[in-house]
Chain A
């Protein structure tokens, strides 16, 4: 393979948030305002309370949206709380969210941005 450069990002965390279908956009908007750079969403089906409600179970949406947002470690608490508030996750049945520590990440980084960091960037051991 031709020698190519890969810049690895460290100090990074993943926030995952599972909510009822249709709520993702507001939560992501809040995360964006708190400084998140991007977001990925996919649809899924959830289980749990619906089966225990009997006939009333039809009123609980099984369709879920799962939000994945990659944030820096400095941002993580702040964005986590903002998303929690925006999604009203303190309401029963709204959803759940969690943070996964990440070891490293990579994406396209414009060379101008890279140039500012090239001096103090230490490559991570993997």
Chain B
């Protein structure tokens, strides 16, 4: 390419003044003691002025804070504005909510830093050394125990019971029974599902199995059981719960821990040529509990008759109201400690006693673990005072757009069709915004970016997933309004997902299916459930379940589609490149 450039311009452009300093002058000279031995160089402790401390800490806190502000503030602003402008309702307790939102931002920031420095390296060390030093049986046993423990630690499962409180025992006796009389068994079944998933996932890493056949093999019985339950008028009502259980199991502590363990094991095993072969447990951990819950329901159905449940329910009906939104700060503190400390202790014991391994950089690791507990607590408090409160307000007012609601004057505010559209749109943005703020998704995105050396950008994954969740939640809301049976949405969704899976490359399959599990964490679940409750009671639905499971299937589709699009674009770029190079001299 010949191009005229004035030399003067060129010089001005290029003449950045280069100073030359010999590096010899900067490195310390070799020191020798009396005996002629070298004295190891000890860098002097740096003397920091307060301005230096500010300069160091400023960007450290600043960038992390801005990341979370970006995630949370748009969502909160949206909820505020929507409520005031579209629903024409004032925001109650707005000072408390604002303080709560600040706590959410701070908590998320601290928790994410804690994840990066504490929980994830910790999980990775164990995952890396476990298969090297222990027998296969021990590895699998620990994976199984960890799976069960994780489920009990995850507070989100308690949230499901709150939704159960609106279930009318006469309309859906089995659902009522599962949520009230069989709670212990329900959590245990879900835990066993997660445990089994961890075992299978570990086996997959150690043997380098592809994830695709495992997905096919797991989905076929799951969908089969769903179809079986669909044709039973009583059992069909538990489908929403079963699929939501799968979505709920994997939260902000589980996902990073399980992911980093998996990555450690996969890298120690050295099988699998994809850099994302450490994924997959989260997928299985959200599918197996579904099977478990359906099996439990079938078992309950075969032993207990609906009439006896209704009879029993009349006695205890007063106790079933769970007040999980009106908790004191102590409950959040306990929940925060409970969800991290026992798991970390268990892993620490495994590391010390079983593996006899030293912890590298114990100071930093401890700092990280403390941060994650602290962050979790602040986050939980902020959630119940800020985000969940705001979300449940808006959520309970939104049905007023199309249906009469007691507390809202002049409802329905809009014509039915417009109102439903507004509600679906509200749900879309809520899902999109809440997912962007989800810590588990953040952690997944970070891991993916690390493993692919940045080729797979975190933002791309997060937007793909969030868009998917947006559609999922919209669909879920429509499901409740129009009382569409959940299987009508799930079956085609998963079958379409299977088709896309067959077309996609292994790494996108890994990420896409795992992202389904992580979408529903502590930000989304309370917001969505509050909304589900609001809609459920507004339209007199049997139950408000099913939104979360829709929020699980849609991201799979959206991430797989993104993957296919990137593949397509890359192929097109190759052709394009050939054409461009024809007219260009520069090559490299």
Contacts and interface: CB of A to CB of B under 8 A. Distances in A.
Q: Do chains A and B touch in the complex (CB under 8 A)?
A: yes
Interface of A: 9, 24, 35, 37-38, 41-43, 49, 51-54, 56, 58-60, 65, 70-72, 77-78, 81, 84-85, 105, 107, 109-110, 112-113, 116
Nearest to A53: B46
A72 B308 CA distance: 84
A77 B56 CA distance: 31
A63 to B, nearest CB: 8
Given A35-B586, A81-B16, A43 B454 contact: yes
A42 B453 contact: yes
A81 B13 CA distance: 10
Nearest to B13: A78
Nearest to B451: A43
Contacts of A77: 14
Which of A37, A52, A77, A113 has the most chain B CB atoms inside 10 A of its CB?
Answer: A113
Contacts of A109: 587
Contacts of A54: 45
Nearest to B584: A113
Interface residues of B, number: 27
A54 B44 CA distance: 12
B14 A78 contact: yes
29 contacts: A9-B587, A9-B588, A24-B454, A35-B586, A37-B586, A37-B587, A43-B450, A49-B46, A51-B43, A52-B43, A52-B44, A53-B46, A53-B56, A54-B45, A56-B48, A58-B60, A58-B367, A59-B56, A59-B60, A65-B454, A72-B588, A77-B14, A81-B14, A84-B16, A110-B582, A110-B587, A113-B582, A113-B584, A116-B585
Contacts of B364: 58
A65 B453 CA distance: 9
B16 A56 contact: no
B581 interface: yes
A73 to B, nearest CB: 12
Contacts, number: 65
Given A53-B46, A113-B584, 12 more contacts: A37-B587, A38-B588, A43-B453, A53-B48, A53-B56, A56-B57, A59-B57, A72-B588, A78-B13, A110-B587, A112-B581, A113-B585
A70 B587 CA distance: 11
Contact of A107 (B13, B367, B587): B587
Interface string B30-60: 0000000000000111101000010011011
Contacts of A24: 454
A24 B588 CA distance: 19
B586 A112 contact: no
CB-based closest 3 A-B pairs: A59-B60, A37-B588, A81-B16
A52 B44 CA distance: 8
B371 to A, nearest CB: 10
A110 B45 contact: no
B45 A52 contact: yes
A85 B56 contact: no
Interface of B: 13-14, 16, 43-46, 48, 53, 56-57, 59-60, 117, 364, 367, 450, 453-454, 578, 581-582, 584-588
A109 B581 CA distance: 9
Contacts of B584: 113
A113 B588 contact: no
B56 A56 contact: yes
Given A78-B14, A85-B16, A113 B587 contact: yes
Contacts of B16: 81, 84-85
Nearest to B44: A52
A109 B539 CA distance: 66
A84 B585 CA distance: 26
A52 B588 contact: no
Contacts of B46: 49, 52-53
A25 B278 CA distance: 26
A56 B50 CA distance: 12
Contacts of B45: 52, 54
Contacts of A112: 581-582
A110 B581 contact: yes
A41 B453 CA distance: 7
Nearest to B56: A59
Nearest to A71: B588
A125 B46 CA distance: 51
Which of B453, B578, B586, B588 has the most chain A CB atoms inside 10 A of its CB?
Answer: B588
A59 to B, nearest CB: 4
B361 to A, nearest CB: 10
Contacts of A41: 453-454
Nearest to A7: B587
Nearest to A93: B56
Contacts of A53: 46, 48, 56
A65 B587 CA distance: 25
Nearest to A57: B364
Contacts of A107: 587-588
A55 to B, nearest CB: 9
B355 to A, nearest CB: 23
Nearest to B10: A78
A58 B48 contact: no
Contacts of A70: 588
Contacts of A51: 43
B63 to A, nearest CB: 8
A85 to B, nearest CB: 7
Contacts of A42: 453
Contacts of B581: 110, 112-113
A37 B584 CA distance: 11
Contacts of B56: 53, 56, 59-60
